[in-house]
């Protein structure tokens, strides 16, 4: 369970570092500093890009586009239920962005953790999980 939570948390941090409703994010910082610090802006942007490539590639390989859409639909339905029950409103644009970041991080975190989740649910081991030693 810890590995799954860590993978989700890293996805949340990756998305939050890239963009969020506060001024503490890469996009806002890069817009303010690209003319004076273009090399560091580019370097940090490439590091973020590597993180996205790792997550997207692993997610696409493990659950595919259909799986990503299905996880997003489940998260969307959960948000809809929370709104319907009155526990959540969409009046605050900042909150809406945080909800979007949370939803996207859940899709990426589940995608990266899918083989662990499937192994726990089914007892089946992926070929990559077998110890060769």
The pLDDT tens digits of the residues spanning 49-78 come to 999 999 999 999 989 999 999 999 999 999
Q: Nearest-5° angle of CA 89, CA 94, CA 97?
A: 85
Q: What angle do CA 56, 61, 62 make, to 5 degrees?
A: 100
Contact call for residues 109 and 7 (beta carbons, < 8 A): yes
Please say whether the dihedral angle defined by the alpha carbons of residues 110, 114, 116 and 120, taken in this order, is positive or negative.
positive
What pLDDT is attached to residue 133?
A: 47
Per the CB < 8 A criterion, the answer to whether 21 and 94 are in contact is yes
The 10s digit of each residue's pLDDT in 7-28 is: 999 999 999 999 999 999 999 9
Ordered alpha helix ranges (H), the chain? 2-18, 26-33, 38-62, 64-84, 93-122
Tally of residues, the chain: 133
Residue 39 carries which DSSP code? Answer: H
What is the band of 128 on the pLDDT scale with cuts at 50, 70, 90?
A: low
The Cα–Cα gap between 38 and 33 comes to: 7
Handedness of CA 62, 67, 69, 70 (dihedral sign): negative
For residues 66 and 74, give the distance between their C-alpha atoms in angstroms, rounded to a whole number.
12
d(Cα 114, Cα 120) in Å, to the nearest integer?
A: 10
| Higher-confidence position of 81 and 132 | 81
């Amino acid at each position: 369970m810890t590995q799954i939570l860590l993978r989700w948390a890293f996805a949340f941090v990756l998305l939050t570092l890239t963009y969020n409703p506060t001024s503490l994010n890469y996009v806002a910082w890069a817009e303010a500093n690209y003319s004076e610090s273009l090399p560091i802006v580019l370097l940090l942007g490439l590091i973020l890009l590597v993180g996205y490539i790792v997550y997207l590639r692993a997610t696409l390989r493990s659950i595919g586009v259909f799986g990503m859409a299905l996880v997003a639909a489940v998260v969307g339905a959960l948000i809809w239920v929370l709104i319907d029950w009155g526990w959540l409103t969409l009046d605050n644009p900042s909150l809406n962005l945080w909800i979007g970041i949370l939803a996207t991080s859940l899709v990426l975190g589940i995608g990266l953790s899918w083989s662990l989740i499937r192994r726990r649910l089914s007892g089946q081991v992926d070929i990559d999980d077998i110890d060769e030693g």
